[in-house]
Amino acid sequence: MTTDLGFWVLQTLNALQLSMLLFLLSVGLTVIFGLMHFVNLAHGSLYAFGAYVAATLAGTLGYWGGFLLAPVAVAALGAVLYYTLIRSQRRAGPMAQVLVTFGLIFVAVDATRLVWGDLPIGIAIPAVLDGQVALLGVQYPVYRLFIIALGLSVLGILTLILTRTQIGAMIRAGVDNDQMAACLGINVERMFFLVFVVGCALAGLAGAVAAPVLSVTPDMGLQILIPTLIVIVIGGLGSLKGAVAGSLIFGFVQTFGAVLLPTLSSVLIYALLAAVLVTRPQGLLPAKG
């Protein structure tokens, strides 16, 4: 099995697909943390909300309607959250933030149960992306390749924005030292809002693309939260490179662990996380220094 090239190609693609999904989630969370020092445990709930919006709209507007509108809806929810909860808790310390967003998870899970019920909702893969394609000798679902491509394009766009544009330079300045950035005339408050909303939109996008491959359930936000947190802790809170590295490490360790060492697979990633925490408590590629 392990000597077959097809096996490695297949598992590599699986790992990449998981990594890209996690990247979409963790990049928003980590940049929000880097900039605002805010930990949003409800980030997974935003992802679940995105999946529900996509699943609901798929019935009337088709898949692409949901795909485009889910990030918008989640961004709108994020904007509301920002002005009601997030902004006032920004300087309240990590425990208050953890508690408020933990309370939000409770509310979000029950709200989705109330609106959409307890039963899983499934949506169909759009016709364009349905089916399989031959790639290096293996048959691979087109939709999963689409997730990989989407993740890579978001990564490319974010990298360009952060490194080549003025707003990117402002964000980098804010991560480095938000007070100094404010002194230099950057409207830090507006930037915080913008980054938070974009982070939420990416979580919604992740929910929308995940909806056809995973079943949409009220606790899907809780299930994805821990992997997302692991990704940003391994990678280093606040850094884009860290989110990329963390997502790839998680995706590959999880996927290859599950097929090569099935008895150890889930402990493996936590052992890796513990090793990172012991040797480099700030993560592999921290935002600062």
Q: Which of 80, 98, 115, 124 binds another protein (CB under 8 A)?
A: 98
Letters for 114-133 (x = contact with another protein by CB under 8 A, - = none) are: x-------------------
Q: Does 285 bind another protein (CB under 8 A)?
A: no
Letters for 207-226 (x = contact with another protein by CB under 8 A, - = none) are: ---------------x---x
- For another protein, the closer CB: 209 or 233: 233
- For another protein, the closer CB: 232 or 240: 232
Name the one range near another protein by CB under 8 A: 16-24, 149-157, 245-253, 258-266: 258-266
- For another protein, the closer CB: 85 or 125: 85
3-state SS string over the chain? CCCCHHHHHHHHHHHHHHHHHHHHHHHHHHHHHHHHCCCCCCHHHHHHHHHHHHHHHHHHHHHHHHHHHHHHHHHHHHHHHHHHHHHHHCCCCHHHHHHHHHHHHHHHHHHHHHHHCCCCECCCCCHHHCCEEEECCEEEEHHHHHHHHHHHHHHHHHHHHHHHCHHHHHHHHHHHCHHHHHHCCCCHHHHHHHHHHHHHHHHHHHHHHHCCCCCECCCHHHHHHHHHHHHHHHHCCCCHHHHHHHHHHHHHHHHHHHHHCCCCHHHHHHHHHHHHHHHCCCCCCCCCC
Q: Does 80 bind another protein (CB under 8 A)?
A: no
Residues that bind another protein (CB under 8 A): 33, 37, 39, 85, 88-89, 92-100, 102-107, 109-111, 113-114, 222, 226, 229-230, 233, 237, 263, 265-267, 270-271, 273-274, 277-278, 281-282
